[in-house]
A and B are shown apart, each in its own frame.
Chain A
């Protein structure tokens, strides 16, 4: 929350073109180390695309993403690998490997990227599962998990390597309010205790209100607001007021215009 924190992830002039449409249309933002940074906006505004660029999974058409001073999309494979090891990602559907148990999923990044003794990997993975409240499900296969459990397992896997930054794609989408609050709670705790930078894409306003240090609002691929939670909440821009008050312009023109075609 103090502005003195250094920037960890910086996006400059991101433009992404899909066909003849600009999904992102000149996005500039800087994410500070140790903050919970929430990307908000309605469906189709480019949130997930932005997250993929930030996480280095998909290069933008134009513009740069720098992480700790390295240009992510022009880094050498070695540098990119090192940057990846210092970041984690929780995908929307969990993206757990179906052929491995929950515990093996969380162990996987440790097993493939470190040469730690088996017992240490196992206990570390079990600790991460206990942090997200899933220790009892450690030996289950992913198919046996509910949606909320899959997301929590994915979070445990994302923090397996003690990353500096974790990216979340819609962590509370499709969850009931109580489970969503649990996931929010995990995000907040991990941020506070480990100081992990959290980048959270969501359209869930209550969730954003609970966890965010700073919020960026995207509309039509452009940044329309960027600031602290309070700043964004009190922003007078009508587009933001509409979004926050869950009012969609299109709703207003919808209605009984079939009347014009009725014969009386």
Chain B
């Protein structure tokens, strides 16, 4: 049978449109070349009902058949007068499928772009720091102070809590091993060396990335979305000097300051354990610590921590400034600032340790 007639329901709306679409599909599948949809007895309709009619027109066109409408009421014609049915049933362009090379490119490109943006922001901030004073625009100490207040002072409680507990934990783990040999006093070496050279710098930088790197990315990203960055540029205020440099300097400063606090509190935690549970004389612990720690190592650790802070600051700002698309983009930049920040911290740590221990 090549002809078929379907009668529309009395009320063509959300409740009945599913059945109508199914009827049209069935008629088309049974091979009808010409389907008539009689809406003569349809008294009321809503737009989803007519959406079903348009879906039917499109399905008929796709099947190479014809759907003829009959008995359209005046209000329906009024509705259709607001739009073009011809335009609606035009076949849509199929979404382009990317070949594997392009897909790989689409995956890698944002990463390369992001890495370049981080590099550009880092170099740009350095230039502002070094050349600014000659242009009459030295580092903005007022804005840096605000950032330091957030990055350093704000992070103090959590850093001290983590440091104290980690000091206790390290001392406990070391003591369990060392007391077998009667070498409990080396708990001081264990805690001191690991905290001062690795755990202190790393933990501080990770806390900084989570608290301040993410904050910088979200803040600058929202400013991009709100056209605030463009407004600054337009007013002749360089965002790198006005926003980014104070944040980067504050991050580096905060990393070192918090790192030193971390070291002190962690060693105090370890010492407390040594004195109370392990029964080590406090003075003996301090003396052992003095022997174990080396000033050169301490200075290298501080340089390392400062570099971590710079990396966290630059990454957060660079990714924030790269945001291009609304709330989604701000969210992505915030996540990436922490992920990339922590990744860079570990890479920098590896470079420092290699240079220090292997380089001589």
Q: A residues within 8 Å of B by Cβ?
A: 98-99, 110, 114, 116-117, 119-128, 130-131, 135, 141-143, 159, 162, 189-190, 193-194
Contact = CB atoms under 8 A, between A and B. Distances in A.
Contact of A124 (B47, B58, B78, B326): B47
A128 B47 contact: yes
B327 A98 contact: yes
A131 B54 contact: no
A120 B82 contact: no
Contacts of B50: 124, 127
Interface in B69-88: 75, 78-79, 81-84, 87-88
Nearest to A193: B78
Contacts of B87: 130, 135
A128 B83 CA distance: 8
B51 A120 contact: yes
A124 B112 CA distance: 41
A126 B48 contact: no
B348 interface: no
B221 interface: no
Contact of B79 (A116, A119, A141, A193): A193
A117 B18 contact: yes
Contacts of B39: none
A193 B81 contact: yes
A84 to B, nearest CB: 16
Contacts of B41: none
A125 B54 CA distance: 11
Contacts of A120: 17-18, 21, 48, 51-52, 55
A99 B327 contact: yes
A124 B327 CA distance: 27
Contacts of B54: 123, 126-127
A127 B82 CA distance: 9
Contact of B55 (A123, A130, A162): A123
A131 B327 CA distance: 28
A119 B21 contact: yes
A120 B59 CA distance: 11
Interface in B319-337: 324-329
Given A127-B47, A131-B83, A98 B325 contact: yes
Contacts of A141: 325
A87 B201 CA distance: 56
Nearest to B89: A123
B55 A119 contact: yes
B46 interface: yes
Contact of B82 (A117, A125, A131): A131
B52 A123 contact: yes
A35 to B, nearest CB: 18
Contacts of A122: 51, 55
Of listed B17, B21, B55, residue having the most chain A CB within 10 A: B55
A120 B52 CA distance: 5
B120 interface: no
B14 interface: yes
Interface in B16-38: 17-18, 21
Contacts of B46: 162
B79 A110 contact: no
Contacts of A159: 47
A163 to B, nearest CB: 11
Given A119-B55, A120-B48, A193-B82, 10 more contacts: A98-B325, A98-B327, A117-B18, A120-B55, A123-B55, A128-B47, A130-B82, A130-B84, A142-B326, A159-B47
A190 B14 CA distance: 20
Lowest 10 CB-CB distances: which A-B pairs, in order?
Answer: A98-B326, A124-B51, A130-B83, A123-B51, A123-B54, A99-B328, A123-B55, A119-B55, A131-B82, A193-B78
Contacts of A125: 51
Contacts of A121: 48, 51
B51 A130 contact: no
Nearest to B52: A120
B327 A127 contact: no
